[in-house]
Amino acid sequence: MSGASATRGTFGKASVRDADVEGRAVLLRADLNVPLDDGRITDDARIRAALPTIELLRDRGARTIVVSHLGRPDGVDPALSMAPVAARLGELLDADVAVASAVVGEDVASEVAELGAGEVLMLENSRFEAGETENDPELAQRLAALADVFVNDAFGAAHRAHATTEGVAHHLPAYAGLLLEREVRELTAVRDDPERPLCVALGGAKVSDKIGPLSAFVDRADRILIGGAMCFSFFRAQGKDTGDSLVEEEGVTMAARVLASAEDARAQIELPVDLVIAERFDADAEPRALDSVEVPDGWIGLDIGPRTAAAYAEAIGEAGTVFWNGPMGAFELPPFAAGTRAVAEAVAEAPGTTVVGGGDSAAALAEFGLVDSVDWLSTGGGASLELMEGRDLPGVEALRDREDT
């Protein structure tokens, strides 16, 4: 890691730092979509990441109304109430954080009216309202009616045009939160102005989510290291045997296109040269080292092999900038974690600027105790990939431009 400061990248949107919030009701969209197990929060990283903006608003005497989605409820679902999230936020702030009776409505308006300067109220799960994901203009207006100012700090949801991330921004003076701003700056710097060589390591299972970013990196990056299930789309496109490995048809089409254009591409595409395979996707499955990439029938490729891991680690160490998204193998299963661990350790030790995105990549870093050894760990999986691909994020676009403030 380079230990670079917080000032990388550019950002053209108005910041919460420049908003006049004293005594005003501020609707703050945060990404508090934490993992729950039987109603208990198993990882509070997203709540912690939202603290700087909430603390700034409290210090400045705002009446803060926090809103987030949690999980994927279909209508009102008490199991996905924001109550445990509000309780944890209250502990972290050392303050009371009440939960509103609903997302919008007259009762909520009275609860907001009771809110004093520096106090925090949390609205119920935004997805209890069907209009949230439909970006319903009426819901956006009802949300806006609760507040004087809107702040969006939910980078992880900024690629979605929903009522709380996009619609409401058209009805109130709309500012970027501190986390959202930092995310956009860090990722934009990697995309538009990286210290070269730019080395991108891409893995994971959801190949179809990574087609767009991969196609964009072919002309932006200098080296692309392919791991995870994605490599099997490439091997299939090359006519190799992939056995029972995870292969997405969409991924094969993309891989064929990338391989066909490889000659003219800026990036050198690197594929595994060895694998770890097993007969089942299971922690008890007997792992077998395969010193090639031809997977026999009945076998599944579940990790990159040691020669590949060493080559990828070396490439990462030589990079001016590293962007890593997606584990190199099924790292949740100990026999198949070595490739992801090697890449994570290489990223942690790399002298270049290191940026990591993706929920499972973040989980891998956490498991290996390496979270603090990267320059920037994005809280947004899909959002970070869409930004890297060069797409506009609706939740960012809808905010005020900087010069309007």
Q: Shortest Cβ distance from residue 382 to ligand ADP (Å)?
A: 8
Based on CB atoms, which residue is closest to Mg ion, 8 or 206? Answer: 206
Per partner kind, with CB cut-offs from 5 to 8 A, the member of ligand ADP, Mg ion, none near residue 52 is none
302, 292, 300, 247: which is closest to 272 by C-alpha?
Answer: 292
**CA separation for the pair 133, 350 (Å, rounded):** 40
Based on CB atoms, which residue is closest to Mg ion, 197 or 359? Answer: 359
Please confirm, yes or no, whether 359 is among the known catalytic residues.
yes
**CA separation for the pair 312, 321 (Å, rounded):** 14
Annotated catalytic residue within 317, 320, 359, 402: 359
Q: Shortest Cβ distance from residue 343 to ligand ADP (Å)?
A: 12
Please confirm, yes or no, whether 227 is among the known catalytic residues.
no
Tell how far CA 116 is from the center of its chain. Answer: 33
Q: Residue for token digits 């538009």? A: 192
In the structure, how many helices (H) and strands (E) does the chain have?
14, 17
- One-letter amino acid at 137 equals P
**Chain residue whose CB lies nearest Mg ion:** 360
Pairing verdict, β 353-357 and 321-325: parallel
Q: Shortest Cβ distance from residue 210 to ligand ADP (Å)?
A: 7
Per partner kind, with CB cut-offs from 5 to 8 A, the member of Mg ion, ligand ADP, none near residue 330 is ligand ADP
Based on CB atoms, which residue is closest to Mg ion, 360 or 375? Answer: 360
Q: Which residues bind ligand ADP (CB under 6 A)?
A: 203-206, 228-229, 246, 301-302, 325-327, 329-330, 332, 358-361, 381
Annotated catalytic residue within 204, 357, 382, 395: 382
**CA separation for the pair 294, 153 (Å, rounded):** 46
Q: Residue for token digits 């409505």? A: 105
Neighbours of 266 (CB within 10 A): 13
Neighbours of 264 (CB within 10 A): 8
Please confirm, yes or no, whether 46 is among the known catalytic residues.
yes
Q: Which residues bind Mg ion (CB under 5 A)?
A: 359-360
392, 378, 401: which is closest to 160 by C-alpha?
Answer: 392
Structure tokens at 277: 């395979």
**CA separation for the pair 263, 315 (Å, rounded):** 20
Q: Shortest Cβ distance from residue 358 to Mg ion (Å)?
A: 6
Annotated catalytic residue within 8, 13, 24, 46: 46
Per partner kind, with CB cut-offs from 5 to 8 A, the member of ligand ADP, Mg ion, none near residue 35 is none
Helix/strand/coil for 120: strand
Please confirm, yes or no, whether 307 is among the known catalytic residues.
no
Based on CB atoms, which residue is closest to ligand ADP, 53 or 233? Answer: 233
Per partner kind, with CB cut-offs from 5 to 8 A, the member of Mg ion, ligand ADP, none near residue 73 is none
Based on CB atoms, which residue is closest to ligand ADP, 73 or 204? Answer: 204
Q: Shortest Cβ distance from residue 23 to ligand ADP (Å)?
A: 41
Annotated catalytic residue within 8, 191, 206, 236: 206
* Residue 12 DSSP code: -
Supply the residues annotated as catalytic: 46, 206, 359, 382
